Amino acid sequence: MKKLTVILASILVVACSSAHKADTAAAPQTNTQTAASPVTASVPAGETAANKLADEQQVLQKKSVYFDFDKYAVNPEYQEAIQKQANFINEHKNDIVTLEGNADERGSEKYNLALGNRRAKAVLEALKQLGVSASQIKTVSFGKGKPRLLCHEEKCWKENRRVDFVHKLD
């Protein structure tokens, strides 16, 4: 009886391990994800294009044109940035860009509003020379009302003398 129990137990162990190996070998391959392998979701082409456009728009809005103290002439070093803006606007006829003119804290409110306006108009003229339609450009002056940095020294004043680009795709 003891021999019979040992034989049956051995057959059972062999049968279970054989069935297990046969099951895994015969099992169809499935795409199982582990913690180490990321799941990639397919994104419709329209969403990808929209995301790319939004990313490009965000990058362009982070670019500003800076000005010397008490000046509104566009320095040559910003021509490439203005060219990139013009390329984007010309490629997207439904884009309306607002040029936000800014000044540092020095000077009166009235003076800084006028200076911010002249800076925005100078960038507008540069864009128009690059083929951008005036109907796609708006200007606004914040004067010293929208500082990027708040301190009373040149590093802040320099950062605040600028024109920002705000794109709105309709």
User: Tens digit of pLDDT for each residue in 123-165?
Assistant: 999 999 999 999 999 999 999 999 999 999 999 999 999 999 9
CB 149 within 8 A of CB 159: yes
The residue behind tokens 């509104």 is: 72
Higher pLDDT pick, 64 / 39: 64
Residues 39/33, Cβ–Cβ less than 8 Å? yes
The span from the CA of 114 to the CA of 22, in Å, is 83
Pairing outcome for strands 95-102 and 137-143: parallel
pLDDT at 42: 55
Distance, in Å, from the CA atom of 161 to the CA atom of 28, rounded to the nearest integer, reads: 66
What is each CA distance from 103 to 26, 34, 111, 132, 147, in whole angstroms? 74, 55, 9, 25, 8
- The whole-number average pLDDT for the span 5-32 is 45
Q: What is the end-to-end Cα distance of the chain in Å, rounded?
A: 88
Residue 33: per-residue pLDDT: 44
What percent of the chain has a predicted confidence (pLDDT) above 90? 62
Give the other-Cβ count within 10 Å of 27's Cβ: 8
Where is pLDDT greater, at 166 or 22?
166
pLDDT band at 51; cut points 50, 70, 90 = confident
Domain map (residue ranges) of the chain: 64-169
pTM of the model: 0.69
Task: Give the CATH fold of the 64-169 domain.
Answer: 60s Ribosomal Protein L30; Chain: A; (3.30.1330)
Alpha-carbon distances of 137 from 40, 58, 76, 93, 147, rounded to whole Å = 40, 17, 21, 11, 22
Q: How confident is the model at residue 112 (pLDDT cuts 50, 70, 90)?
A: very high
91 torsion bin: left (phi>0), alpha (psi -120 to 50), beta (else): alpha
| pLDDT tens for each residue of 65-106 | 999 999 999 999 999 999 999 999 999 999 999 999 999 999
Distance, in Å, from the CA atom of 138 to the CA atom of 134, rounded to the nearest integer, reads 8
